[in-house]
Amino acid sequence: LAFLELMTPNLQDRAASLLFEGFERIVILPMFIAQGGHLRNDLPLILDELRQRNPQVAFELASPVGEVESVVQAMAAHVLTLSEA
């Protein structure tokens, strides 16, 4: 778990701890509903920095969790339960 702002650990610190543990592949799963400024602007810069500093490690960026079909369906199902109340 890592945060992009206001909370700790940040992504750089979390990656450092995983690297210390010996991980050679790190998959970043953004816990965002959609592509916003953080995903379009901030995260690519952080990933570029991590990749440059650690070329031996595979840093992979997954799609935001809010764009995964099963999550979209779960959100839609939840909305429907609200209309029943």
Q: Tokens 């764009």 sit at which residue?
A: 67
Q: What is the pLDDT of residue 83?
A: 83
Q: What is the pLDDT of residue 36?
A: 82
How far is Cα 43 from Cα 58, in angstroms, rounded to an integer?
15
How far is Cα 54 from Cα 41, in angstroms, rounded to an integer?
21
How far is Cα 33 from Cα 57, in angstroms, rounded to an integer?
27
Tens-place pLDDT, residues 9-28: 999 999 999 999 999 999 99
Residue 5 in tokens:
């702002």
One-letter amino acid at 38 equals H
Q: Tokens 């440059």 sit at which residue?
A: 52
Does the structure show a pLDDT above 70 at 59? yes
Q: What is the mean pLDDT of the chain?
A: 93
Tens-place pLDDT, residues 23-46: 999 999 999 988 888 888 999 999
